[in-house]
Amino acid sequence: MRVLLYENGRSQGVKRIRERLESRFPHGFEPLDSIEGLVYRLRHDRNYHWIAVVAVSDLEDLSALLSIREWLLDLRIILILPEIDRELTMSGHRLYPRYIAYGDGDLEDVAAVLEKMLRLNELEDPSLGH
Amino acid sequence: MGEVLIVDDNVGVCRILHSVVEEMGHHADYVRTLGQAMKTLASGSYDVVLLDVHMPDGNGLDLLPRIRETKDSPEVIIITGKADPNGAELAIKSGAWDYLQKPLSLNTVVLPLKRVLQYRKASQNGPNPTVALKLDGIIGRSKQMQTCFDALARSAAGESPVLITGETGTGKELFARACHHNSPRSDQSFITVDCAAMPETLVESMLFGHKKGAFTGANRSQPGLIEQAHGGTLFLDEVGELPDSMQKAFLRVLQENRFRPVGGQKELRSDFRLISATNRNLDRMVDQGRFRKDLIYRLRGQTIELSPLRCRPDDIKDLVLFYSAKLCERHGVETKGISPDFLEAVLAYPWPGNVRELIHSVESALAEVAYAPTLIVNQLPVHIRVHLARASVEQSVAPNADSRTPERPGSADPLPTYKALRESVLHRAEKEYLREVMVTSQGAIQEACRISDLGRTRLYSLLKKHGISRVGWDSPAFSV
């Protein structure tokens, strides 16, 4: 498993994100719906080639993620914010995401970035193939 | 007043340079061999060495690293009658301040000399720049890292663009963040642009933003990363992957600090500090026509070159100790000790994935060790142990090459003699056995003697023979 999807069930467009990932990445991804679950996952089994798609529901959710930032720093994060909002975006950059998308927009971009990241991962470490 | 040492076998050149330096208001001495130069540097105090390359007793470039390591770490300006690009590259990479070609004009000597002496004065008067740096996980006491920290301190204090180079896993992104966090813009945003992960179709809109209706799917306006970086730092990671069309567009942004969102009518202004990083050789990419020369100049205001971990083994122990303690804390477990064999193994491995690979190997070992108090070599990832085992066999068989029988036809490896083979196998087996005994007995000598049925003196002598420590097998051998 090389792609984690964090979303707490309240994220905007979460159904679309899930559907899109499921259809584009038949090899799957691992959904996590709580901060505790995410930390547990990272505590017990982690790999620095992992990519995390993090769909934030609101500023509170983002603040909770920032409080566990230490755990996330060496993951490649694609951050999906609920809407275009300056405060949210600026706070989101503190997670050092490799890409920021918005849940109220076209999520085709997320799939395209994720596909490219997965290709790069395979080039870096072919043993991690699907 | 600066102190300058001139090293040139031509007495005429020495005298001219001497008078130039003295006229600039500084003091100069000259010597005519490399041997005299080292003696003079050991006894005197110098800011700058003007060094000829072709000397009667050797090549000045070979001496350059040793000169930089003398007590005052003088800056070195190379002066040569036979300049060549490779020599110039070697000189600068070895730490030379400048590389000048004879015949010298007054200006070619005076200007770099003036600059280097100003720099020396400023660095001697100013506070040590590395003292107050927030390094946040960047570990290293090696000379290479100290050079990087100095470069980081200078870069952080300034506003010019910074280019960070180094192999994958050397910590380019950490340095970029540290540069931002130590800069006057630290309270503003640090915006990462992952040039390698951006699909070409998205790059423009991602960097410059777009207006509603600019293209199919643009159902609302969206600010780009350049706009978001206003007031802060824009970090172009893997800048060598920036598509050609974007290189041109981005160059314009750097020249004018202005850009136009896709589909926008008006130009917007963004005041950001640029940091870029790459593991590519951008000069080679320029030669191959894959990267714009004018963009390189814009990116390379200051450079920080990060050494691969294999070139700075002095930092490995510190890295292991730091990250072992940090990861134990993160996982909420007691800090583990590091056994001598673990340390020996991590020092012997070449770390192709650099610091990142080392950190994840320590993390992987911590996951294996569970509740035991000490990390031992068997907890390292298998691929590392395989590499070390192979290297150990190759090394132990190689010294006996002289006593080998002639090569076997069709075989790449010559067959060792029976005696050489027996000795090498026994040596390895003995060493492995002793390690196991020390691990099992947790370093308690009485217990080790009981298990092995060896006398204390014999056990000590065998441990000494194999370079195995008697301590550190029970609890943290190296306090963290």
B225 to chain A: nearest residue by CA? A100
> What would the pLDDT profile of B172-185 be if each residue is shown by its tens digit?
999 999 999 999 99
Q: What average pLDDT does this structure show over B244-271?
A: 92
Give the H/E segment covering residue B256.
helix B244-256
Which positions in chain A touch B330 (Cβ < 8 Å)? 70-71
ipTM for the predicted complex comes to: 0.91
Q: Would you call A4 exposed, middle or buried from its count of C-beta atoms within 10 A (0-12, 13-18, 19+)?
A: buried
Q: What is the pLDDT of residue A25?
A: 72
pLDDT at B404 over 50: no
Give the H/E segment covering residue A51.
strand A51-55
Interface test mutation site (partner A, options B212, B228, B359, max chain A beta carbons within 10 A): B228
**A97 at B interface, C-beta within 8 A:** yes
CB-nearest to A93 from B191, B196, B202 is B191
Task: Calculate helix-pair angle for B60-69, B85-93, nearest 10 degrees.
Answer: 10
Residue A125 within any structural domain of the chain: no
Q: What is the pLDDT of residue A127?
A: 44
In the structure encoding, which two tokens stand for residue B468, read together?
A: 């195995």
Place of tokens 């000590």: B460
User: In terms of CATH architecture, what is B3-125?
Assistant: 3-Layer(aba) Sandwich (3.40)
Which positions in chain A touch B196 (Cβ < 8 Å)? 116, 120
ω into residue B103 within 30 of 0, thus cis?
A: yes
Q: Do A124 and B168 touch (CB under 8 A)?
A: yes
Q: What is the pLDDT of residue B447?
A: 86
Q: What average pLDDT does this structure show over B75-79?
A: 89
**B211 at A interface, C-beta within 8 A:** no
Q: Would you call B468 exposed, middle or buried from its count of C-beta atoms within 10 A (0-12, 13-18, 19+)?
A: middle
Which positions in chain B touch A96 (Cβ < 8 Å)? 173, 177, 190, 192
Residue A17 within any structural domain of the chain: yes
> Is there a common fold for B143-307 and B311-465?
no
Residue A33 within any structural domain of the chain: yes
CB pairs < 8 Å spanning A and B: 63
**The domain containing residue A49 runs over which residues?**
3-119
Give the three-class secondary structure for B307. coil
Q: Which amino acid is residue B428, in one-letter code?
A: R
Residue A59 within any structural domain of the chain: yes
List the 37-56 stretch of A: residues with Cβ below 8 A of B: 43, 46-48
**Angstrom distance (rounded) from CA B416 to CA B401:** 7
Residue A128 within any structural domain of the chain: no
Distance, CA of B36 to chain centre? 32
| Higher pLDDT pick, B369 / B479 | B369
Which positions in chain B touch A105 (Cβ < 8 Å)? 217, 219-220, 222
> Closest by alpha carbon to A56, among A16, A117, A24, A103?
A103
CB-nearest to B197 from A89, A96, A113 is A113
Q: Provide the pairing of β-strand B268-269 with B258-259.
A: antiparallel
Looking at CA atoms only, how far is residue A20 from chain B in angstroms?
16
> What would the pLDDT profile of A33-49 be if each residue is shown by its tens digit?
999 999 888 887 766 67
Q: What is the pLDDT of residue B477?
A: 35
Q: What is the mean pLDDT of chain A?
A: 83
Q: Tell me the residue ranges of DSSP E strands in B124-198.
A: 162-165, 190-194
User: Could you report how far apart the first and last alpha carbons of chain B are, in Å?
Assistant: 45
Q: What average pLDDT does this structure show over B390-415?
A: 58
> What would the pLDDT profile of B4-20 be if each residue is shown by its tens digit?
999 999 888 888 888 88
Q: Do A96 and B177 touch (CB under 8 A)?
A: yes
CB-nearest to A89 from B199, B228, B359 is B228
Q: What average pLDDT does this structure show over B412-424?
A: 73
Residue A27 within any structural domain of the chain: yes
Q: Do B190 and A99 touch (CB under 8 A)?
A: no
Please tell me the total number of residues recorded for chain B in this structure. 480
Q: What is the pLDDT of residue B472?
A: 65
Q: A115: domain CATH number?
A: 3.40.50.2300
B171 to chain A: nearest residue by CA? A74
Looking at CA atoms only, how far is residue B62 from chain A in angstroms?
36
- pLDDT band of A120, cuts 50, 70, 90: confident
Phi, psi of B199 (to 5 degrees): -65, 140
Q: What average pLDDT does this structure show over B295-316?
A: 93
| Higher pLDDT pick, B84 / B203 | B203
| Cβ neighbours for B165, distance < 8 A, ≥ 6 positions apart | B172, B277, B278, B279, B282, B303, B304, B305, B306
CB-nearest to A90 from B189, B199, B330 is B189
Residue A94 within any structural domain of the chain: yes
Name the β-bridge partners of B286.
none
Q: What is the pLDDT of residue B97?
A: 83
Q: What average pLDDT does this structure show over B469-478?
A: 56
Interface test mutation site (partner B, options A96, A106, A119, max chain B beta carbons within 10 A): A96
CB B215 within 8 A of CB B259: no
Q: What average pLDDT does this structure show over B74-98?
A: 80
A97 to chain B: nearest residue by CA? B192
Q: Which CATH number fits domain B311-465: 1.10.150.120, 1.10.8.60, 2.60.40.10, 3.30.460.10?
A: 1.10.8.60
| Cβ neighbours for A123, distance < 8 A, ≥ 6 positions apart | none
Q: What is the pLDDT of residue B102?
A: 78
* Most confident option among A118-127, B87-96, B117-126, B377-386: B377-386
**B300 at A interface, C-beta within 8 A:** no
- pLDDT band of A6, cuts 50, 70, 90: very high
Q: Do B217 and A106 touch (CB under 8 A)?
A: yes
Q: Do B197 and A105 touch (CB under 8 A)?
A: no
**Angstrom distance (rounded) from CA B33 to CA B40:** 11
Domain ranges of chain B: 3-125, 143-307, 311-465
> Closest by alpha carbon to B161, among B278, B252, B31, B274?
B274
Q: What average pLDDT does this structure show over A19-41?
A: 82
> Closest by alpha carbon to B274, among B157, B154, B160?
B160
In the structure encoding, which two tokens stand for residue B239, read together?
A: 């800048």
Q: What is the pLDDT of residue A107?
A: 80
Please tell me the total number of residues recorded for chain A in this structure. 130
**Angstrom distance (rounded) from CA B128 to CA A108:** 50
pLDDT at B38 over 50: yes
- DSSP code, position B239: G
Residue A78 within any structural domain of the chain: yes
Looking at CA atoms only, how far is residue A109 from chain B in angstroms?
7
Q: What is the pLDDT of residue B478?
A: 30
> Tell me, which fold does domain B143-307 have in CATH?
Rossmann fold (3.40.50)
CB-nearest to A113 from B168, B199, B221 is B199
In chain A, the number of structural domains is 1
Q: Do B197 and A84 touch (CB under 8 A)?
A: no
- pLDDT band of A2, cuts 50, 70, 90: confident
Q: Do A98 and B177 touch (CB under 8 A)?
A: no
Q: Do B197 and A116 touch (CB under 8 A)?
A: yes
| Higher pLDDT pick, B409 / B231 | B231
Q: What is the mean pLDDT of chain B?
A: 86
Q: What is the pLDDT of residue A130?
A: 36
| Higher pLDDT pick, A2 / B325 | B325
Q: What is the pLDDT of residue A12?
A: 67
| Cβ neighbours for B228, distance < 8 A, ≥ 6 positions apart | A89, A90, A93, B189, B191
Give the H/E segment covering residue B6.
strand B3-7
In the structure encoding, which two tokens stand for residue B92, read together?
A: 């600068």
